[in-house]
Structure 1
Amino acid sequence: MRAVVQNDKNRAYGVTWLRGGIAVLAVAAIASGCAQFGGPPVRPAPGQEHPLQAPPARALDSYATKLHALYTARAAAARHWDLAKVPLAAPPPPAEKPRIRARRGFEVDDQEELDLPPVFTTVPTKQKVVFLTIDDGAEKDPAFLRMMSDLKIPYTAFLSNFLVKDDYAYFRRMQSEGVTLNNHTLTHPYLPGLSYREQKHEICGMQAIMRKQFGKRPTVFRPPYGDYNQDTLRAAKSCGIKYAPIWDEEVYVDHWEYREDDRDLHPGDIVLTHFRGRDEWNGTMVDDMRRFLDRVTADGYAVARLEDYL
């Protein structure tokens, strides 16, 4: 197992994180106490005779200690899972969510007129974040669940019923960790080769399974293979789907594949991988995640939760 490299960039990030949190509290403390100095006393309004007081210094110490403990725990998890660096923490979700539109060239006929779910590969944001999405559900590796829980890495799962029905409990454990479970059809067919009625059965039938097994019908759907037509999006909309993200990069246990010619990550990119193991790959899902996390961290990206931006 190789040691985690705590380089200057990671140390600087951790220090900035701590100082930023303390600064927020300090500003609040100063604001609450500023009327005591440099000006005439201010009479409190009726009902506000007990103005806010600056928090004691021990409150700031406690907050800093908590932030430091969170970073320390993530660093320990990174060492345990043999990562090259400590993954960067995602920024807070945007206060105003970006407007999601279909990627140019990925629209279908009457896309806007019918208000169909947009197909997109990147979320519009300037933050250095990417979104991890994992498809189908064939491999059910308990070590993968432990790794992602230890590291507190968010991800989104797109499930196909024929692959998950033998162990719904595995995905309920995943859901209990805050992972959003989304629709990837009943049987993972090539949807454009089916009629509208057949496509609706595949998508809306999976919506019913998701509600029964996981408590809710998702609003996010990924067409198998990233292939779709107008009937696909019409069928998806009919049973509550609002978004149809696909991907900009795909990571495997031994390589990456790219949609763009620059073969690089970009702010807001959606990254795809699959629930796969040694039966199909030369490695495990833990190996796959190690490759993914080492790459995005080295490039200065954090992994954010897709649903926080939708």
Structure 2
Amino acid sequence: MFSEVKTTDKVVFLTIDDGAEKDPRFVEMLTDLKVPVSMFLTRDIVKDDYGYFKRLQALGNHVHNHTTDHAQLSRVAPERQRSEVCDAQAALTREYGTAPLLFRPPYGDGANTPALNSAVQQCGPKAIVLWRESMQIHDMQYQAADKRLRPGDIVLAHFRGPKDLKGETMTQMFGELLARIQEQGFAVARLEDYIETPAA
């Protein structure tokens, strides 16, 4: 399990969860800016339009596992935890052609518990990924007291639209996120380029 990658490079990694918002302008934005992201997709949220995320995948962005229906894993039995991971793993592998390498529990809940660790190991992902910062609408929420990015930090965002972003679009939120990163002198790198075979 990890929430940052050890590196001296002044880079951070952008991860986007769930998949509720499927804004075509966001695909255009990533195509133009060539900013890499890692997508942690929830099967039941994306199954009505797997194709949207295939367009993002075609840009070199990786698809990872974020459960079947966004359950709060610490509140469900181990068998349900296993099905949340395994069923999503199977569906995402089938739709996107490669097995998700990483898993993120919704809300970060249940991470590093024996039941979830066992489920992840049985179902195929190689590691559980959390985060150091999360993107709100206009700024980031930091875990560190000094409210600064550090090399190798993993930043969490969500596929969200105006309904969840107080009228802002996904592209506006993402533009704000990139501005906050650049203001601190960081670049965005591809997470998968910096990890080899992390242990769960």
Shorter-chain TM range is: over 0.9
What CA RMSD, in Å, does the superposition of the two structures yield over aligned residues? 0.9
Task: Tell me what 2:176 maps to.
Answer: 291
Is the contact made by 2:12 and 2:151 (CA closer than 8 Å) also made in structure 1?
A: yes
Deviation string, structure 1 residues 165-205 (Cα, Å, up to 9, x no partner): 11011011111111100000000001111121111100000
Q: Does residue 52 of structure 2 align to residue 167 of structure 1?
A: no
State the Cα distance separating 1:158 from its structure 2 match: 0.3
Give the CA deviation at 1:243: 1.2
1:236 equivalent to 2:120? Answer: yes
Letter in 2 for 1:266: R
Match of 1:306 among 180, 184, 191: 191
Partner of 2:198: none
Aligned residue in 2 for 1:82: none
Do the aligned partners of 1:200 and 1:235 also contact (CA within 8 Å) in 2?
yes
Letter in 2 for 1:236: V
Q: Structure 1-normalised TM-score?
A: 0.61
Give the CA deviation at 1:226. 0.5
Residues in 1 aligned to 2:102 and 2:160: alpha-carbon distance in whole angstroms: 22
AA in 2 matched with 1:294: A
Structure 2 counterparts to residues 177-196 of structure 1, below 5 A: 177-196=59-78
Which of 86, 101, 105 matches 1:223?
Answer: 105
Q: Which residue of 2 aligns with 1:207?
A: 89
**What is the letter of the counterpart of residue 231 of structure 1?**
A
2:29 to 147, 150, 163: 147
Asked if 1:258 is matched to 2:142, the reply is yes
Rounded to whole Å, the distance in 1 between the matches of 2:32 and 2:125 is 31
CA distance in 2, matches of 1:224, 1:192: 10
Which residue of 1 is the match for residue 11 of structure 2? 129
Once the two structures are TM-superposed, the CA of residue 255 in structure 1 deviates from its matched residue by: 2.6
Equivalent in 263, 269, 276 of residue 153 of structure 2: 269
Q: Which has the higher contact order (CA 8 A, sep 6+)?
A: 2
Q: Which deviations, in whole Å up to 9, do the C-alpha atoms of 1:77-132 show, x marking residues without a partner?
A: xxxxxxxxxxxxxxxxxxxxxxxxxxxxxxxxxxxxxxxxxx21110011100000
Deviations 1:194-240 (A, max 9, x none): 12111110000001101111112112000110011221111001111
Equivalent pairs counted in the alignment come to 192
Q: Under a length normalisation based on structure 2, what TM-score does the superposition of the two structures give?
A: 0.93
Letter in 2 for 1:199: Q
Contact 2:16 2:159 in 1 (8 A): yes
The amino acid of 2:34's aligned partner reads: K
- Structure 1: stretches of 5+ with no match in the other structure: 1-118
* 1:257-282 residue CA offsets vs partner (Å, 9 max, x unmatched): 11111111000000000000101112
Q: How far is 1:164 from its partner?
A: 0.3
Indicate the SS of the match to 1:234. Answer: helix
> What SS is found at the alignment partner of 1:123?
coil
Decide which moves more: 134-143 or 251-260. 251-260
Aligned to 1:156: 38
Identity %: 45
Query: Which AA in structure 2 matches 1:172?
Result: K
Tell me, yes or no, if the aligned pair for 1:253 and 1:285 is still in contact at 8 Å: no
Q: Is the 8 A contact 2:138 2:177 kept in 1?
A: no
* Inter-partner Cα distance in structure 2 for 1:242 and 1:193: 23
1:176 matched to which residue of 2? 58
Structure 2's unaligned 5+ residue stretches are 196-200
Partner amino acid for 1:301? Answer: F
Deviations 1:17-38 (A, max 9, x none): xxxxxxxxxxxxxxxxxxxxxx
